[in-house]
Amino acid sequence: MQLNLIDSFREFKEFKNFDKETMMAILEDVFRNMIIKKYGSDENFDLIINPEKGDLEIWRNREIVKNGAVEDENEQIALSDALKIEDDFEVGEDVSEEIKLESFGRRSVLSLRQNLVGRIMEIEKDAIYQKYKVRIGEVINAEVYQIWKREILLVDDDDNEVVMPREHQIPGDFFKKGDSVRAVVAAVELRNNTPRIILSRTAPEFLERLFEQEVPEIYDGLITIKKIVRSPGERAKVAVESYDDRVDPVGACVGMKGSRIHSIVRELRNENIDVINWTENEELLMARSLSPAKVSSITLKGASGRAEVYLKPDQVSLAIGKGGNNIKLAGLLTGYEIDVFREEDESEEDVELMEFSDEIDEWILQEFIKIGCDTARSVLDLDEEGLISRTDLEAETVKEVIRILKKELS
């Protein structure tokens, strides 16, 4: 029984990577708890534990008293019993007697082992929690271990389990068991005293770390990333600023012929990345953030937090982007709700949208006006997907409106 217990000590020491001081403290604590349960106190016991050699000794120290004068059997021993240990003891002396582990009984030893395992697991969980708590925002590599419907289970280099929920995966991500995955540590939670490490590939911090790895000027502090907004797998906008006038922040981030940014784009499943030169001028920042569209003029309404952006007819769809992604990200980057307006071209015939109220319900027309489409051509200049996503109208409704407008203008 003792040998098996010592083998367990060696196993924990080898595989759990605990330092000797921590291990000794745990062993002594669990053994003293076992002694207290049996004898009521451990104050007069000495423990000699060497988990590496397998030594385990328990010694009980008692005072020798006259025969019949024993009041506490745990702390006192009768002279006649002491003489059985050594024949030259006298009253008043102390006697040390070794207590064999077997004397505690099988049930107590099994309970001790369970307590030991529990303590080891608690310390291991706390060590993992503390390790990852300071690594939030850091990119790590992990190997896919198991794929579930809602999340992926991975293991890090130390075989610690980490998870990546579905919402933290890029839509184009596809992994199989054994794949190596790069992701940022997004959060560390405690569930029933068990650490849950959450990885993310959709967080802005992941894109920021990738830029730090690929662009030395960012890592060295010559270029600062001011803000990142993302629609994972679709588009991202990164605003950068240089503290050195000789360094072009956008050019440095993109690299020669796009060499630096291409590796980031591949890692993010071909996510389009717009690198923008940061400025405190809000109008200029907004114009840059709507790239690749060319803005004609901007009117900021600070009190309402809205901005009116005027563009040439052929630039409207570029400003809005596929599924409205471009204008949505531009709004997040600048902090404004952006309304796009089409500049009127007098050479081209157009019709006010409200003139169609006899054919189209007024509440539907108002949905288009809310997004800056107040004429027939301003609606037709946008693609169908953009209109659906920005107005929240049914696809069939949008198609019917487009049909009516086209018929009128033709």
Bond into 292 cis (ω within 30): yes
pLDDT value of residue 31 = 86
- Report whether pLDDT(230) > 70: yes
pLDDT value of residue 407 = 85
350 exposure class (CB count in 10 Å sphere: 0-12, 13-18, 19+): middle
Q: What is the pLDDT of residues 53-98, one digit of tens each?
A: 656 788 889 998 898 888 888 888 898 888 888 888 888 888 888 8
In 3D, which of 190, 192, 208 has the Cα closest to residue 200?
208
Domain boundaries, the chain: 2-130, 135-202, 216-278
- Report whether pLDDT(268) > 90: yes
The pairing of strands 306-311 and 337-342 is: parallel
73 exposure class (CB count in 10 Å sphere: 0-12, 13-18, 19+): exposed
- Report whether pLDDT(1) > 80: no
Look at the domain 216-278 and name its fold: GMP Synthetase; Chain A, domain 3 (3.30.300)
Q: What is the pLDDT of residues 135-154, one digit of tens each?
A: 999 999 999 999 999 999 99
pLDDT value of residue 181 = 96
90 exposure class (CB count in 10 Å sphere: 0-12, 13-18, 19+): exposed
In 3D, which of 375, 367, 371, 373 has the Cα closest to residue 394?
367
Do the beta carbons of residue 8 and residue 116 sit within 8 Å? yes
Q: How far is CA 365 from CA 290, 321, 344, in A?
A: 26, 22, 19
Q: Phi and psi for 268 in degrees, rounded to 5? A: -95, 25
DSSP state of 60: E
Q: What is the 3-state secondary structure (H, E, C) of 3-41?
A: HHHHHHHHHHHHHCCCCHHHHHHHHHHHHHHHHHHHHCC
Residue-wise DSSP of 209-237: HHHHHH-HHHHTTSEEEEEEEEETTTEEE
CATH number of 135-202: 2.40.50.140
- Report whether pLDDT(286) > 90: yes
Residue-wise DSSP of 230-292: EETTTEEEEEEEESSTTS-HHHHHH-GGGHHHHHHHHHTTS-EEEEEE--S-HHHHHHHHTTT
In 3D, which of 230, 238, 227, 232 has the Cα closest to residue 167?
232
- Report whether pLDDT(3) > 60: no
How many C-beta atoms surround the C-beta of residue 145 within 10 A?
15
Token reading at 277: 């030169």
Do the beta carbons of residue 65 and residue 79 sit within 8 Å? yes
Spatial separation of the C-alpha atoms in residues 172 and 235, rounded to whole Å: 13
Token reading at 168: 């933290």
**Torsion-angle region of 123 (φ positive above 0: left; ψ -120 to 50: alpha; else: beta):** alpha
Q: What is the pLDDT of residues 361-376, one digit of tens each?
A: 889 988 888 887 888 8
Token reading at 259: 């060499």
- Provide the pLDDT confidence category of residue 344 given band limits of 50, 70 and 90: low
400 exposure class (CB count in 10 Å sphere: 0-12, 13-18, 19+): middle
In 3D, which of 58, 60, 64 has the Cα closest to residue 44?
60
- Provide the pLDDT confidence category of residue 5 given band limits of 50, 70 and 90: low
What ranges in 134-192 are assigned the alpha helix state H? none
Do the beta carbons of residue 253 and residue 218 sit within 8 Å? yes
CATH number of 2-130: 3.30.1480.10
- Provide the pLDDT confidence category of residue 252 given band limits of 50, 70 and 90: very high
